[in-house]
Amino acid sequence: MIEAWVDRGTYFMTMLLLVLGLYGIILKRNLVKKLIGLNIFQTAIFLFFIQGSTKFGATVPVVDSRLGTGAMNYVNPLPHALILTAIVVSVAITGVALALLITIYRRYRSLDERILLERMRQSS
Amino acid sequence: MKWFSLIILGAFLALVVYAGGDLPALGDPESPSHVHVSPSYIEGSIPETRTPNIVTAVLADYRGYDTLGETLVIVTAGLAVLLILPRGALRRIR
Amino acid sequence: MRRRYENPIVEGVSRVMVPLIQLFGLYVIAHGHYGPGGGFQGGVILAASMMLLRLSLGEEQEHRRFSPRAAAALSAVGMLVFAATGLLSLVEGKEFLNYAGLPLGELSGAEARYLGILMVEIGIGLAVWGTLVMLFDHLLGGEAK
């Protein structure tokens, strides 16, 4: 029972980061803080995948001539490639979200959720 | 409203931690993600592509189609920002 | 953030650091085969050197040197290099993005794939460089007054 928790302890910390990111997205009123919560959520997903790719007694996935090409000496390279793609997608999402936030601020002069909803109701 | 959201988040955390008990142990070499296709990438990297960095070989050669889609994503994001916040000649058109 | 930073130490250090940062970015792209690195990482380092120039030496002077239009064109050229490398393999009868079919003469399958990976990484580096500089220019283009 305790071995199950100790073997998977780092996975549980990743899940805590995930819930902290969700807390930021749902419960904060400022739009920039919601964007930061989204970034924390994405970082938790990256950490989860990279933890799942380790092996005991293995080294980085760069072929070393002293170790040969056996599959047990190297860490699984496939999640690393997936996470590189995901990091670039995260950068693209943050860029477009910041552009949208600038446009919203220019139009409504506020970045707070409740004030924005009131001004949108007044202007429509 | 705020307490309701906090209770839902706490229930979500409990559910995810309970489901995490089924995950394979950290560092297990026999876990299902390590035995199907990635040994063929590790062993075929030097004979087939002559690159020691297996992650680059996977990203650019074995899974090159996904990398094409991802480059398309970042160019599209640049294009979207160019249209949302114009400057220079585009600003006079808007 | 758009005017020159009127301090000789900041300007002098930026002028010295920017060529070194760009050289390191080119090194990271070219050594993606032998260690950590590759197209994305090198492209981001090259874009960081451009951002340092824009922050410390002012926008008017730097936009004459490397304008936002040049950054947009660079990102499109990088994407074109990637797609053209994939399409060249159709010449020899192999599938799209199978680098063993590149028309490189007497090189064997593994050597042709090595060079195919290098060309694709250069294309990705150019695309990421151009896109990040374009994002920076447009996000700072007109501050809300």
In a domain, B63, yes or no: yes
pLDDT band at C59 (very low <50, low <70, confident <90, very high): confident
Contact call for C141 and B47, based on CB within 8 A: no
Domain ranges of chain A: 2-56+71-123
Phi-psi region of C36 (alpha: psi -120 to 50; beta: other; left: phi over 0): beta
Q: How far, in Å, are A82, B48, C33 from residue C114 at the CA level?
A: 21, 9, 9
Q: Determine the length of chain B.
A: 94
The whole-number average pLDDT for the span C22-39 is 92
3-state secondary structure C83-144: HHHHHHHHHHCCCCCCHHHCCCCCCCHHHHHHHHHHHHHHHHHHHHHHHHHHHHHHHCCCCC
Locate the chain B residue with the closest alpha carbon to A98: B81
* Chain A interface includes B17 (CB < 8 A): yes
Residue from the list B6, B39, B59 with its beta carbon closest to the beta carbon of A71: B39
Q: Which two tokens stand for residue B38?
A: 């990635």
Q: Enter the tokens of residue A88.
A: 């670039």
pLDDT for C134 equals 93
User: Which 3 state secondary structure label does DSSP give C21?
Assistant: helix
Element (H, E) at C37: none
Using the beta-carbon criterion (under 8 Å), do A62 and C144 form an inter-chain contact? no
Contact yes or no for A84 and C40 at CB 8 A: yes
User: How do residues C11-22 score in pLDDT, each as one tens digit?
Assistant: 899 999 999 999
Entry pTM: 0.90
Is A62 within 8 Å of C135 when comparing Cβ atoms?
no
Residue in A closest to C32 by C-alpha: A62
Which tokens belong to C111?
A: 């050597």
Q: Is the pLDDT of residue C78 over 70?
A: yes
Supply the DSSP symbol for B22: G
CA–CA separation, C136 and C66 (whole Å) = 13
Candidate from B27-31, C51-55, C111-115, C133-137 with smallest mean pLDDT: B27-31
Residue A1 banded pLDDT, cuts 50, 70, 90: low
Name residue A59's amino acid: T
A71 touches chain B (CB under 8 A): yes
Residue C81 corresponds to which tokens in the numbers above?
A: 């290099």
Q: Among all residues of chain B, which has the CA nearest to that of C84?
A: B68
Give backbone dihedrals phi and psi of A59, rounded to 5 degrees, phi first. -120, -175
Q: What is the mean pLDDT of each run of 10 residues along chain B (94 residues)?
A: 92 92 84 88 89 92 93 95 83 65
* Position C142 confidence tier, pLDDT thresholds 50, 70, 90: low
Residue ranges making up the domain that contains B67: 37-94
Q: Give the pLDDT score at A9.
A: 84
Q: Where is pLDDT greater, at B71 or C68?
A: B71
- Res C145: pLDDT: 36
**Residue C139 contacts A where some CB pair is shorter than 8 Å:** yes
The whole-number average pLDDT for the span A104-121 is 92
**Total tally of structural domains belonging to chain B:** 1
Angstrom distance (rounded) from CA C54 to CA C2: 8
- Out of B3-7, C86-90, C105-109, which region has the weakest mean confidence (pLDDT)? C105-109
Asked if pLDDT for residue A115 goes beyond 80, the answer is yes
| Domain A2-56+71-123 CATH class label | mainly alpha
Higher pLDDT pick, A81 / B93: A81
Nearest to C139 among A87, A102, A105 (CB): A102
Domain membership of residue B22 (yes or no) is no
Position A116 confidence tier, pLDDT thresholds 50, 70, 90: very high
Whole-number pLDDT of residue C144: 41
CB A25 within 8 A of CB A41: yes
